[in-house]
Homo-oligomer: A and B are copies of this chain.
Amino acid sequence: MFTDFKIAMDRPLTIQVKEYMKQWITKGKGRVDQKLPSTRELSVLLGVSRNTLVRVYTELEEEGFIYTIHSKGSFVSQVGIASVPTWKMSWSEHLNEKAIQASELDLMKHDLRGVKGMINFATIAPDEKLFDLNNVKRAFLDRMAIEGEVLLNYGYAKGYKPLIQYLHNYMETKGVDMDGKDILITNGFTEAYDILLSSLQVKSRTILCENPTHHTAIKISKLHGFEITGIPMEQDGIHLELLEKALKEQPFGLAYLTPSYHNPTGIVMSAEKRSEVLRLLAEYQVPLIEDGFNEELRYSGSHVAPLAAFGGSGNSIIYLGSFSKILFPGIRIGWIAADRELIDYLVSVKRARNIHTSTLDQAVLFQYFHNGNFEKYLKRAKHEYKRKHQLAVEYCKTYIPFKRMTGSGGLHLFIELEDNCYVRDILQDCYEQGVVFTAGDVFYTDGGGANTLRLGFSRVDDEELLRGIQIIGDAVRRRM
């Protein structure tokens, strides 16, 4: 009895003993009405002070796990676990199409993942070494001092008001006319896109997008039963003639575009093309979801305003923003900036899904912005990423025999190999040598891209960058 109790060093002892005894009782190791050892006896048995055990017994009694009879001792209560018939079912037979498809399309389950010690080009998460933890701590403590109780209690489905106000201003600084528009805070881009597609009823179940495009967007579109038509890209963005041709040929319910540092190609759509794309979408009356992905990670060239800014006082553009790739992905914050009437419906959808996004996250992020940390961080991060971007470009040009390489900003490059290069084989070869990247086919809407790959460079150091790219280059040459 009580021989398997082990003490962990970094937790209050009372809690450890109490938990141990609760489990002993709830797991039925002690009979109902069984007499427990006295605190004196137990003190010897567990090697724990009697004072602690007196406290444990008192609390176990308060919580209804044991009862005490004066001058007789303490006894196990009836905690109510009776033996009932149990049955097993096969859950895999009780999942619907959508859940099964979500599992099938889950890249984390099916794609080669980087493991510790490998050179990992598969991720485009920010480099955590750049994180300014002290400023995040400062922001947290500042905000907690201002309204800690508010942060920990229920908030609003629409979002934390100071952050909404900040983002409103942020969108205006990007040149977006926010008159008649509003903002909904979401758990990152993914939730924003998912909430939108689950709520809209548009004239066609086909979405028009760039080809290739963000694989999460492809996945979510499919899960909501949308067809996807991808339009090839040129060096300055989507191919206009092919876009117009597609618009003529069939109706589209929505367009989804990532005009800046596009994922996976890293291409920035030119200002001229932005105007022209919007003109076409207006002509064919196709509303647009703009993915503001990495817009901030510009390393050179003029600032280009988002499509939502070009859209002026119109309301057909829905802008999805996120700081995940720039700031802290662990803080799950994204937002939808769109027509006020639309946002009002989406707020109810959001509330029915998870009440609201973590107020703590929103508040820490707001205060971090408010304290002026974002601008400084971004400057430092851009400096480092730009340096790495240049290195990566140089190494790829030197070591990888490619047909085309794109990526003028952001955290990745996109490489198209010769047509006869099957990238899945190359990935397999590299994986065996401790290098992983993303095979480009997952970004294609039409089964293409077998000869393409995405190289995320944000989380590899300089030495790994060189060695990894050399290994990839060698593998490509062997498979050519």
Q: Enumerate chain A interface residues (CB-CB to B < 8 A).
A: 10-12, 14-15, 18-19, 22-23, 26-28, 59, 63-65, 77-92, 94-100, 102-103, 105-106, 108-109, 123, 125-126, 128-129, 131, 133, 136-137, 140-141, 144, 148-155, 157, 169, 172-175, 186-188, 190-191, 194, 198-202, 216, 219-220, 223, 271-272, 274-275, 278-279, 282-283, 285, 287, 298, 301-305, 309-316, 328-332, 339, 341-342, 344-349, 351-361, 364, 370-372, 375, 379
Contacts of A87 in B (CB 8 A): 282, 285, 314, 316
The residue that A79 contacts in the complex, of B96, B157, B302, B311, with Cβ under 8 A, is B302
B345–A358 CB distance below 8 A: no
| Chain B residues with CB below 8 A from A187, complex form | 187, 353-355, 357-358
In Å, the complex CA distance between A469 and B336 comes to: 42
- Asked whether, in the complex, the Cβ of B81 is within 8 Å of the Cβ of A303, the reply is no
Q: Give the interface centre of A94, A97, A194 by most chain B CB atoms within 10 Å.
A: A94
Q: Determine whether the beta carbon of B274 is less than 8 Å from that of A80.
A: yes
6 closest A-B pairs by CB: A86-B314, A26-B175, A80-B271, A64-B303, A128-B149, A99-B199
Report the bound CA distance from A314 to B105 in whole Å: 30
| A18 surroundings in chain B (CB, below 8 A) | 375
B352 lies within 8 A of A331 (CB) = no
Name 10 interchain pairs, CB-CB below 8 A, sorted by A.
A23-B173, A80-B302, A82-B275, A95-B199, A105-B348, A105-B352, A108-B157, A133-B149, A137-B148, A188-B354
The complex places the Cα of A64 from the Cα of B89 at a distance, in Å, of 61
Complex-state Cα separation, A288 to B457, whole angstroms: 47
A91 touches B152 (CB 8 A): no
A28 to B282, CA, bound (A): 22
Chain B residue nearest to A372 in the complex (CB) = B12
* Contact among B98, B287, B303, B346 for A77, CB-based, below 8 A: B303
State A210–B69 Cα separation when bound (angstroms).
38
Q: Do the beta carbons of A126 and B102 come within 8 Å of each other?
A: no
**CB neighbours of A144 from chain B (8 A):** 133, 136-137
Known: A63-B298, A86-B311, A95-B201. A329 touches B105 (CB 8 A): no
Name the one of B126, B153, B347, B375 contacting A128, with C-beta atoms under 8 angstroms. B153
Q: Which residues of B contact A220 (CB under 8 A)?
A: 352
Question: Shortest Cβ distance from A30 into chain B, in angstroms?
Answer: 12
User: Do B358 and A298 have beta carbons less than 8 Å apart?
Assistant: no
A287-B126 CB under 8 A given contacts A27-B175, A133-B149? no
Q: Hey, which chain B residues are within 8 Å of A94, CB to CB?
A: 200-202, 287, 342
The CA-CA distance from A305 to B25 in the complex, in Å, is 11
Instruction: Write out the residue numbers on chain B whose beta carbons fall within 8 Å of the beta carbon of A154.
Output: 123, 125, 329-330
A341 to chain B, nearest CB (A): 5
Given contacts A23-B172, A103-B348, A175-B26, contact A315 B372 (CB under 8 A): no
Closest residue of chain B to A202 (Cβ to Cβ) is: B94
Is A310 within 8 A of B81, CB to CB? yes
Q: Is A136 a contact partner of B157 (Cβ separation < 8 A)? A: no
Q: Assuming A98-B199, A331-B360, what are 17 further A-B pairs, CB within 8 angstroms? A: A14-B375, A64-B298, A65-B303, A80-B274, A80-B310, A81-B305, A86-B282, A88-B315, A94-B200, A96-B201, A98-B198, A98-B349, A103-B348, A191-B353, A331-B359, A358-B360, A360-B364
- Which one, B123, B131, B312, B332, contacts A83 given CB within 8 A? B312
Q: Which residue of B lies closest to A25 (CB)?
A: B175
